[in-house]
């Protein structure tokens, strides 16, 4: 995974490493041997915008972490402020923190210490109390468009901490969940931080960085924003604003395999104009009108907002379509691809049909993508859908995974997923656990 993430993402004098930029005002909480802070500082050259803190005293660090002295000297040399004896529950009261706000507040692998087994409800409650206290403080120390990042294991029993729920109770919204890899941060060594093996590392296994934000940025005050939920405004901007923040451009979007065109209509309403968007369906327009109760309304909405809609478009041959064959796109999106109900979803033959559909789509999409574009496939991640091996299919086509982000229907008001086949074609279906997989070309500037 590490080799897929470029950390050489400079814009002018700015230097980036994964989610973090040298121009960000960064607060690091709960550092162990300060190796994560040192990693960022080395990448940025100067760490004058960064404050790194530890719960333990400096004396304790020197006695228990073999590399603490080296890392702290590195940070001092690069202008980073380091603070000790900082409690995540009361950090806002610290005399050197109480008047400051930050663009990024980061807490990697929060842990309340080893009192009980990790599976014990009492231990989980201790962890949750730690996180809640941190989030309460961090909320008031965050700029209006800042982000709070918590990196945490996602498997049982750590999933029982319910980070998203804790954040919601504080008044924060989940911006996105991104897979975490230590290899993206050269020199970072996670530490147990407690007990007789305090200086030992531990296997992180499956883990993610959870990015939380305030309900929404102050500048988003238009009346139409008020009608949408906080999480909607945050999540939907991944299409609307991600590139605009970088270069002021708007995405050229291709939607593939639309059912009743409700996803396309959702984006269109949010964007006001969709002259840069083409939405396609495998079925004919006549078929849609006969089988989807809201197809006509959605298509009229798209026409009004100047979206191009195409029908009878096969994902396996879409590059040959006369209105598509000379175009390239910044985002190519296929939500819940499905080859139809031929066998049981658990049957290997059915899975092979689904895989063939996805392969054909990816082959076409690869050649229709801008150099910095992304292909997004939203798909269930539980068994048997996990057996589709979407990441493996993409790799064989020559694509690489940029990131996998949790998908929630509620983030797209008006979108109604459809079965799309069989006698209940117009029915929705429970999506359960699912993600949007974002694939890019090898040359993509991550």
Q: Which residue has the higher pLDDT, 37 or 234?
A: 37
pLDDT of 8 > 50? The answer is no
pLDDT of 77 > 90? The answer is yes
Crossing angle (nearest 10°) for helices 121-140 and 163-170: 40
* Strand stretches in 180-299, DSSP E: 207-213, 253-256, 277-280
pLDDT of 244 > 60? The answer is no
Domain 249-440, what fold? Rossmann fold (3.40.50)
CA 415, 417, 420: angle at the middle one, nearest 5? Answer: 135
Domain 2-213 shares a fold with domain 249-440? yes
pLDDT of 104 > 60? The answer is yes
- What is the reported pLDDT for 194? 65
- What is the reported pLDDT for 137? 93
Proportion of the chain above pLDDT 90, given as a percent: 58
Sheet with 102-108: strands ordered across: 81-83, 50-53, 26-29, 102-108, 142-153, 207-213, 173-179
Q: Can you tell me the mean pLDDT for 93-116?
A: 90
pLDDT tens readout for residues 267-300: 988 887 788 899 999 999 999 999 999 999 999 9
pLDDT tens readout for residues 413-430: 889 888 777 778 888 788
Question: What is the band of 216 on the pLDDT scale with cuts at 50, 70, 90?
Answer: low
User: How far is residue 275's CA from residue 417's CA, in Å, rounded to a whole number?
Assistant: 24
Whether the pTM exceeds 0.95: the reply is no
Residue reference for tokens 């009361």: 90
- What is the reported pLDDT for 368? 95
* CA 74 to centroid of chain Cα atoms: 31
User: How far is residue 241's CA from residue 219's CA, in Å, rounded to a whole number?
Assistant: 13
Q: Can you tell me the mean pLDDT for 436-445?
A: 85
Question: What is the band of 444 on the pLDDT scale with cuts at 50, 70, 90?
Answer: low
CATH number given to 2-213: 3.40.50.150
pLDDT of 240 > 70? The answer is no
Report, in this order, helix, strand and coil percent for the chain, each rounded to 5. Answer: 35, 20, 45
pLDDT of 4 > 50? The answer is no
User: How far is residue 301's CA from residue 295's CA, in Å, rounded to a whole number?
Assistant: 10
Q: Can you tell me the mean pLDDT for 315-342?
A: 91
- What is the reported pLDDT for 2? 32
Q: Can you tell me the mean pLDDT for 54-73?
A: 91
- What is the reported pLDDT for 11? 43
Sheet with 434-440: strands ordered across: 308-310, 277-280, 253-256, 329-335, 369-380, 434-440, 400-406
Query: What single DSSP character describes residue 181?
Result: -
Q: Which of 179-183, 198-202, 316-320, 439-443 has the lowest mean pLDDT?
A: 198-202
- Spell out the domain ranges in the chain: 2-213, 249-440
Neighbours of 382 (CB within 10 A): 10
């Amino acid at each position: 995974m590490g080799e897929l993430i470029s950390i050489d993402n400079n814009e002018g004098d700015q230097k980036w490493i994964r989610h973090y930029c040298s121009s960000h005002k960064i607060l690091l909480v709960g550092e162990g041997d300060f190796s994560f802070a040192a990693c960022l500082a080395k990448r940025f050259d100067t760490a004058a915008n960064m404050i790194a803190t530890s719960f333990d005293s400096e004396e304790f660090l020197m006695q228990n972490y073999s590399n603490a002295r080296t890392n702290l000297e590195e940070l001092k040399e690069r202008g980073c402020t380091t603070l000790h004896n900082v409690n995540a529950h009361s950090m806002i009261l610290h005399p050197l923190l109480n008047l400051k706000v930050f663009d990024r507040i980061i807490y990697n692998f929060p842990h309340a210490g080893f009192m009980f087994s990790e599976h014990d409800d009492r231990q989980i409650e201790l962890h949750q109390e730690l996180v809640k206290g941190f989030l309460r403080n961090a909320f008031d120390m965050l700029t209006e468009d800042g982000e709070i990042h918590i990196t945490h294991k996602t498997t049982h029993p750590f999933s029982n901490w319910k980070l998203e729920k804790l954040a919601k109770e504080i008044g924060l919204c989940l911006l996105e969940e991104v897979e975490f890899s230590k290899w993206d941060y050269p020199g970072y060594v996670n530490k147990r931080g407690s007990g007789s093996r305090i200086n030992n590392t531990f296997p992180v296994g499956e883990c993610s960085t959870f990015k939380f934000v305030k309900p929404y940025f102050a500048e988003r005050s238009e009346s139409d924003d008020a009608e949408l939920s906080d999480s909607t405004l945050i999540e939907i901007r991944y299409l609307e604003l991600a590139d605009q923040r970088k270069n002021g451009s708007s995405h050229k979007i291709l939607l593939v395999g639309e059912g009743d065109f409700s996803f396309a209509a959702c984006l269109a309403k949010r964007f006001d104009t969709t002259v840069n968007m083409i939405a396609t369906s495998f079925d004919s327009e006549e078929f849609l009108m006969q089988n989807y109760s809201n197809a006509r309304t959605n298509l009229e909405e798209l026409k009004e907002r100047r979206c191009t809609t195409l029908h009878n478009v096969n994902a396996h041959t879409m590059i040959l379509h006369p209105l598509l064959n000379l175009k390239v796109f910044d985002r190519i999106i296929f939500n819940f691809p499905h080859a139809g109900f031929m066998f049981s979803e658990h049957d290997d033959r059915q899975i092979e049909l689904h895989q063939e559909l996805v392969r054909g789509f990816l082959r076409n999409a690869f050649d229709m993508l801008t150099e910095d574009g992304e292909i997004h496939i939203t798909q269930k991640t539980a068994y048997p859908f996990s057996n589709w091996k979407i990441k493996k299919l993409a790799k064989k086509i020559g694509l690489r995974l940029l990131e996998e982000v949790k998908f929630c229907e509620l983030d797209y008001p008006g979108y109604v997923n459809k079965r799309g086949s069989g006698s209940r074609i117009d029915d929705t279906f429970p999506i359960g656990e699912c993600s949007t997989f974002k694939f890019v070309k090898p040359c993509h500037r991550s």
